[in-house]
Amino acid sequence: MFSSSERILVTGGAGFIGSAVVRALFRNTDARIINADKLTYAGDLASVAEASASDRYVFEHADVCDGKMLSRIFRTHQPTAVLHLAAESHVDRSINGAAEFIRTNVVGTQTLLDVARSYWSELDGDRKQGFRFHHVSTDEVYGSLDDSGFFTEESAYRPNSPYAASKASSDHLVHAWHRTYGLPAIITNCSNNYGPYQFPEKLIPLMICQALDGKSLPVYGSGRNVRDWLYVEDHASALITVLRRGRPGETYNIGGSAETANIDLVERLCSVLDRLHPDAEGPYRRLITFVPDRPGHDFRYAIDYAKIKRELGWHPRETLEGGIEKTVRWYLANRRWTDRIRSRNYDGRRLGLVASGAW
């Protein structure tokens, strides 16, 4: 793993996946960690509190679109690698306001690439040879599957939402900076993440929080849309493995082997809540409500992660059953965190309707 001589710049390190990466680097390596985050509505430094007092960790309040700030961060901290996770990530928000997704995910990635390339080009010897730029992306760039098949690293890009289009654009930029300028860049595309510290606009924490508040559990359309679920700590492990051992110019898909229809997932969450935190009013599934579908809702995502397993030896360790149990227990034990986040940044209202509407 990474030694004390390594300095890893994590963009978006106060977000959901980014903070899991920061925690994993702090717990499992000796590397120094530079966390650069804008602290938007979804960023929270409480998620990296365990690292904050260490001399191995430093926080930089920074926007990836600010080239001057990024240049200062590179000059000051001299990173040996970049893990780029800073992004707008919620599909529903992208439907209501695509501009911020284009700004952060496309312009921000291009700005970071330019600063990283300038910095890398001035390195020499082993420092230049060992530098890596790891861009973290999503399976949504591949579009939608029907009942069969899997996304592979060779799948064509067919993004269907503004969010997916912005991430596809950023993937293409990273690939181009590698091919054109030689920047030693790697791309990973992952399936749906879940776990501790996820902002409660996303499906799993939203269902948990709504259920605990006795509110409706909104399921889009028929609820038969399928997602492959990846526990966030498994994802963090995969990202560190790719950063350490992945080959520049390559793409690696990261999946959880946990395909589940949305309605089945919500019912599973209800069952776990019934067992761990029973409601006097009755089973939580009574709160399930079917609502108008998301515009352009992709039917199914499924990842073939054979390449990363074969070449780098990574595979998911957490089952969906075990991961859901851990996640529900975490949210039950951290209601003060979710209450603070929701009162400050998100009141639970539905986003992503083309026409105005509510549950």
353 in a structural domain: no
For residues 263 and 218, is the Cβ–Cβ distance under 8 A?
A: no
Percent of the chain topping pLDDT 70: 98
350 in a structural domain: no
pLDDT of residue 342: 85
Q: Which of 39-53, 252-266, 337-351 comes out lowest in average pLDDT?
A: 337-351
The string of pLDDT tens digits covering residues 119-154 is 999 999 999 999 999 999 999 999 999 999 999 999
Q: Which residues pair with 58 in a beta bridge?
A: 34
291 in a structural domain: no
62 in a structural domain: yes
Given a cut of 50, whether residue 74 has pLDDT beyond it is yes
Given a cut of 60, whether residue 29 has pLDDT beyond it is yes
232 in a structural domain: yes
**Per annotation, catalytic residue among 37, 44, 63, 139:** 139
- pLDDT, average across residues 98-113: 98
d(CA 330, CA 323): 10
**Per annotation, catalytic residue among 57, 119, 142, 163:** 163
Residue 139 annotated in active site:
yes
Given a cut of 50, whether residue 182 has pLDDT beyond it is yes
14 in a structural domain: yes
The string of pLDDT tens digits covering residues 158-176 is 999 999 999 999 999 999 9
336 in a structural domain: no
Sheet holding 259-261, edge to edge: 192-194, 226-231, 259-261
Given a cut of 50, whether residue 209 has pLDDT beyond it is yes
Helix 108-121 vs helix 162-181: angle between axes, to the nearest 10 degrees? 20
- pLDDT, average across residues 294-314: 97
**Per annotation, catalytic residue among 6, 140, 171, 304:** 140
pLDDT higher for 305 or 1? 305
Q: Domain range holding 147?
A: 7-197+228-257+297-320
pLDDT of residue 39: 97
Q: Which of 45-49, 272-276, 277-281, 342-346 comes out lowest in average pLDDT?
A: 342-346
d(CA 226, CA 54): 41
132 in a structural domain: yes
pLDDT of residue 354: 63
Which two structure tokens, joined as six digits, stand for 272? 């776990």
Q: SS in 3 state form for the chain?
A: CCCCCCEEEEECCCCHHHHHHHHHHHHHCCCEEEEEECCCCCCCHHHHHHHHCCCCEEEEECCCCCHHHHHHHHHHHCCCEEEECCCCCCHHHHHHCHHHHHHHHHHHHHHHHHHHHHHHHCCCHHHHHHCEEEEEEEHHHHCCECCCCCECCCCCCCCCCHHHHHHHHHHHHHHHHHHHHCCCEEEEEECEEECCCCCCCCHHHHHHHHHHCCCCEEEECCCCCEEEEEEHHHHHHHHHHHHHHCCCCCEEEECCCCEEEHHHHHHHHHHHHHHHCCCCCCCHHHHEEEECCCCCCCCECCECCHHHHHHHCCCCCCCHHHHHHHHHHHHHHCHHHHHHHHHHHCCCCCCCCCCCCCC
CA-based nearest residue to 56, from 10, 99, 98, 90:
10
pLDDT of residue 356: 45
Confidence of residue 272 (pLDDT cuts 50, 70, 90): very high
- pLDDT, average across residues 329-355: 84
For residues 84 and 15, is the Cβ–Cβ distance under 8 A?
A: no
pLDDT of residue 341: 86
pLDDT of residue 355: 55
pLDDT of residue 348: 75
Amino acid at site 355: A
Percent of the chain topping pLDDT 90: 94
Beta-carbon neighbour count of residue 325 at 10 Å? 16
Residue 163 annotated in active site:
yes
CATH number at residue 141: 3.40.50.720
For residues 44 and 68, is the Cβ–Cβ distance under 8 A?
A: no
Residue 153 annotated in active site:
no
Given a cut of 50, whether residue 217 has pLDDT beyond it is yes
What mean pLDDT, rounded, does the chain reach? 96
The number of domains in the chain is 1
Confidence of residue 350 (pLDDT cuts 50, 70, 90): confident
